[in-house]
């Protein structure tokens, strides 16, 4: 099989370059998109994500406002900060880096974010908009998956897409987006019976399970498109996905690697959401 490896890094760079131009246009209208990132506690992985987000903002010409708070910060202090940022017209996007410390109610904090500034797309208003086909901010990783497919010229309409995973962050929203693109969608999860039989029928597989090398080539139909959302570590501590790349590559027509597939798209789509939010809100001065 002449398999095409989808280069998520390259596609993400292209998106960020396009956004650079959009930011320049907004700046001509005296609008500089601004992203506020709230990080509570000293989770090393979260710190890496937050730094990458700051760098991406700089690259596309946006402002970033960083709030790095100690782990013992109270829920009320975070809610008050979100309220302040909701009312700050230099801030067009607000992102609360998850997970939060255990003494905080994540849902309560997400609910506090102005849906127009909810660039993670986690607010129930944006989730609801997605499910009934209204405009809204779509969460970044699922939006990145769709963008990867489209920019790789993979037709989605009429295709049987099997999504493995039903989380609120990946599985469910990506399923809704695929449906919006007119795919026939099957959602699988830990209680799915005969997963292999279902997978064998897929034209496009989206793996969002969180288990190292869970999907192998023998489970798939030749010519399938494989999108691996997973970010795991293998037995040697090496970054790997939910898909066994080697065996799946031999049957797939297209496949995403880990790293360098879906991962870089998440940040690119976050920048996209910030620019969209700034465009929708307008008004803030440079």
Catalytic residues: 53, 97, 120
* 76 or 193: CB nearest ligand NDP: 193
The contact set with ligand NDP (CB under 6 A) reads 141, 164-167, 169-171, 188-192, 195, 208-211, 229-232, 242, 262-263, 266
Rounded to a whole number of angstroms, the minimum distance from the CB of residue 214 to ligand NDP is 7
The full length of the chain comes to 286
Shortest-Cβ-distance residue relative to ligand NDP: 167
* 182 or 189: CB nearest ligand NDP: 189
Rounded to a whole number of angstroms, the minimum distance from the CB of residue 256 to ligand NDP is 9
* 227 or 284: CB nearest ligand NDP: 227
* 151 or 166: CB nearest ligand NDP: 166
Rounded to a whole number of angstroms, the minimum distance from the CB of residue 67 to ligand NDP is 22
Rounded to a whole number of angstroms, the minimum distance from the CB of residue 265 to ligand NDP is 7
């Amino acid at each position: 099989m002449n398999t095409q490896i989808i280069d998520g890094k390259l596609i993400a760079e292209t998106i960020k370059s396009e956004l650079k131009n959009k930011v320049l246009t907004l700046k001509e209208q005296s609008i500089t998109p601004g992203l506020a990132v709230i990080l509570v506690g000293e989770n090393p992985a979260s710190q890496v994500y937050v730094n990458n987000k700051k760098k991406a903002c700089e690259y596309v010409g946006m402002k970033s406002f960083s709030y790095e708070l100690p782990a013992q910060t109270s829920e009320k202090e975070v809610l008050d900060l979100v309220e302040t940022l909701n009312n700050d017209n230099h801030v067009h996007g607000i992102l609360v880096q998850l997970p939060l410390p255990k003494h905080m109610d994540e849902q309560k904090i997400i609910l506090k974010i102005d849906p127009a500034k909810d660039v993670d797309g986690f607010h129930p208003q944006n989730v609801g908009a997605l499910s009934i086909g209204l405009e809204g901010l779509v969460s970044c990783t699922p939006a990145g998956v769709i963008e990867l497919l489209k920019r790789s010229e993979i037709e989605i309409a009429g295709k049987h897409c099997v999504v493995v995973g039903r989380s609120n962050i990946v599985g469910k929203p990506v399923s809704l987006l695929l449906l919006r693109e007119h795919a026939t969608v099957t959602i699988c999860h830990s209680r799915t019976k005969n997963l292999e039989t279902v997978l064998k029928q897929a034209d496009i597989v989206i793996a969002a399970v969180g288990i190292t090398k869970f999907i192998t080539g023998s489970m798939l139909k030749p010519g399938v498109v494989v999108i691996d959302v997973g970010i795991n570590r293998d037995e040697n501590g090496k970054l790997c996905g939910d898909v066994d790349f080697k065996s799946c590559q031999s049957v797939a027509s297209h496949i995403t690697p880990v790293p360098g597939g879906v991962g870089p798209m998440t940040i690119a789509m976050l920048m996209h959401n910030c620019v969209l939010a700034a465009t929708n809100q307008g008004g803030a001065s440079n």
